[in-house]
Chain A
Amino acid sequence: MSGNFVTTRFNAALGWARKFSLFHYPYVTACCGMEYMSTACAHFDIDRFGAGWTRFSPRQSDLILVVGTIPHKLAPVLKTVYDQMTEPKWVIAFGACTLSGGIYDNYAVVQGIDQIIPVDIYIPGCPPRPEMVLDGLLKLQQKIQTSEPDWRWKKKKS
């Protein structure tokens, strides 16, 4: 039984380590980008939650913040960037356009990025206030802490 205690403590430690060192890739396209700037800057400061380090390469980021409308022309680009991200990776859909296409229900816009990539946290709002964004980030951190972190050695065992 002791094995069980060790792994739960280890999982908790691993979740704690991962949730407070999120490197995020700001996939910014449209108006929500202005609100992302406010969130990332001094006034509302996303860095207080450990996620301040902006990485512009999918190779160095664990969290992709999809910010703004994703038209169909941009869909393959988003899919490629998501695929090229290192594991383990999380996705935050930031703004109404990423949730459901928002106010653009027409030929040009993807009606929600979960049609392209699996999404962890949805932040509604057009644009969401910075406080809502930080709340969404906290929810993601809670999800990282509580969900069962998968790591290679465990997979071989089970």
Chain B
Amino acid sequence: MLPIVLTFAVFGLLGVVLLFVNALLGPKRTNPAKETPFECGSPPLQKDIGPFPIKFSLIAFLFLLFDVEAAFFFPLALIVKEAKGPALAALVVFTAVIAAGFAYAWRKGAFEWE
């Protein structure tokens, strides 16, 4: 059990340290230009950016859903050959649910950009 705890501790600590070492070491010098948004060096044309069209958030949700599930498929792919009985059932149900969601989204036209 110890090696697992050790690795989690070391890498967890490393992650946190690396996150904050920049804030600790970097010299803090600001100026008015640094506060304005970066627009390729020219003065921003619009002070307040208005609301974004909804289709951007739709694409973000779809990506979030299907990308995370794709990540789950990798371990499943390893055991698909020797999966029998309940493992196979879980695998099939998992895939079916995702496929149903995907088909529904496709038919509703969520993937069309216009």
- On A, residues with C-beta under 8 Å from B are 14, 57-59, 76-81, 83-84, 86-88, 150-153, 155
Interface of B is mostly: loop
A-B contact pairs, 27 of them (CB 8 A): A59-B38, A76-B41, A77-B41, A77-B42, A79-B33, A80-B41, A80-B43, A81-B38, A83-B31, A83-B32, A83-B33, A83-B34, A84-B36, A84-B38, A86-B26, A87-B27, A87-B28, A88-B27, A150-B27, A151-B24, A151-B25, A151-B26, A151-B27, A152-B24, A152-B26, A152-B27, A155-B27
Residues of B within 8 A of A153 (CB): 24-25
- On B, residues with C-beta under 8 Å from A are 24-29, 31-34, 36, 38, 40-43
Give the docked Cα–Cα distance between A77 and B44 (Å).
12
The number of A-B residue pairs with CB atoms under 8 Å apart is 44
Residues of B within 8 A of A58 (CB): 38
Determine the residue in chain B with the shortest Cβ distance to A79: B33
Give the docked Cα–Cα distance between A65 and B41 (Å).
15
